[in-house]
């Protein structure tokens, strides 16, 4: 039915037995109450109330409506309690989205968080596409670059991720070291196929490395990382990843122009729920100890 306002009005009249009482509870004029009752009776084709000087008495049809509406109100009250309980507990599904270069750090963070909160089921969505928090695609997003100006989002700076140019020792053995910017045309590079202008290190490689020197392109940053670690060529890795991998060599001094600021973003409607708030606070503390972040 598409006349919920009228049903709610009839429920209050049946419960309170007076138009004035229903009007006060609903916060409307008594004429609105009478109009709703008349309209609903017309749609149903039945009298819901007997009118008399002392008020309104439900007919048999009115008693049926009162019974169904009372049960519905009880169910809605129980539902509200369950929803509130979920919001107050640290349990259930937690969807986090991050960029590929953050995935190793997030795997460790989420595992530690679940150790403290075993009733939380985690889904990590690794994607360069910004998921829509307003549609529930994720509860928490980790994004780089400009965080945007959506007033429905709560944005908190998480840290800065240094990026570095790295190559495997096998590559350097075959092609020699990179001796400054002027030596770039003598080397082989790895990068993503489609450069994201929001990523400073991607812009840099697009501007300074000729296309003929890019001998290995990948559809994702994860694939780029795999190629660099395999010795295919020189390319960008998160500094923490390059430094902790055996046989990786940083071929150029790190440039702050390559670095990206990372943001923790939540939707304003979920930001203060126990689960999201708990994870965001945990994440911010963990980020303080992340290498190079």
- Rounded to the nearest 5°, which phi and psi values hold at 114? -65, -30
Tokens of 286: 């963990």
What is the residue-level pLDDT of the chain in tens, covering all 293 positions?
A: 567 888 888 888 988 898 888 888 888 888 999 999 999 888 888 898 998 878 898 999 888 888 888 887 777 666 555 455 455 567 888 999 998 888 888 999 999 999 999 999 999 998 877 788 877 888 999 988 776 677 788 999 888 888 999 999 999 999 999 999 999 999 999 999 988 777 889 999 999 999 999 999 998 888 999 999 999 999 999 898 899 898 999 999 999 989 888 889 998 888 888 889 999 999 999 988 876 55
- Rounded to the nearest 5°, which phi and psi values hold at 214? -90, 100
- pTM higher than 0.85: no
Q: Are 146 and 135 in contact (CB under 8 A)?
A: no
Between CA 195 and CA 252 the distance in angstroms is 21
Residues whose CB is less than 8 angstroms from the CB of residue 178 and which lie 6 or more positions away in sequence, other chains included: 165, 167, 184, 187, 234, 251, 252
pLDDT tens digits, one per residue of 175-227: 999 999 999 999 999 999 988 777 889 999 999 999 999 999 998 888 999 99
Q: Report the alpha-carbon angle 232-256-233, nearest 5.
A: 5
Closest CA to 145 of 259, 56, 245: 259
């Amino acid at each position: 039915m598409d006349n919920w306002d009228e049903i709610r009005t009839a429920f209050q009249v049946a419960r309170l037995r007076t138009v004035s009482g229903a009007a006060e509870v609903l916060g409307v004029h008594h004429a609105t109450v009478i109009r709703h009752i008349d309209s609903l009776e017309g749609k149903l084709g039945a009298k819901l109330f007997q009118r008399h000087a002392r008020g309104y008495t439900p007919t048999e049809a009115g008693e049926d409506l009162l019974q169904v509406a009372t049960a519905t109100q009880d169910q809605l009250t129980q539902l509200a309690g369950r929803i509130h309980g979920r919001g107050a507990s640290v349990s259930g599904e937690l969807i986090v989205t991050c960029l590929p270069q953050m995935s190793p750090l997030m795997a460790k963070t989420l595992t530690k968080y679940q150790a403290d909160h075993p009733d939380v089921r985690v889904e990590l969505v690794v994607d360069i596409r910004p998921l829509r928090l307003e549609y529930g695609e994720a509860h928490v997003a980790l994004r780089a670059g400009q965080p945007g100006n959506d007033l429905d989002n709560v944005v908190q700076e998480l840290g800065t991720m240094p990026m570095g140019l790295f190559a495997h020792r096998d590559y350097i053995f075959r092609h020699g070291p990179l001796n400054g910017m002027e030596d770039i045309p003598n080397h082989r590079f790895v990068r993503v196929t489609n450069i994201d202008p929001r990523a400073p290190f991607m812009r840099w490689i697009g501007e300074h490395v000729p296309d003929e020197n890019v001998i290995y392109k990948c559809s994702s940053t994860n694939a780029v990382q795999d190629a660099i670690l395999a010795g295919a060529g020189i390319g960008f890795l998160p500094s923490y990843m390059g430094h902790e991998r055996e046989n990786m060599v940083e071929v150029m001094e790190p440039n702050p122009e390559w670095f990206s600021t990372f943001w923790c973003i939540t939707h304003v409607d979920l930001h203060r729920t126990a689960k999201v708030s708990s994870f965001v606070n945990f994440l911010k503390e963990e980020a303080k100890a992340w290498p190079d972040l």
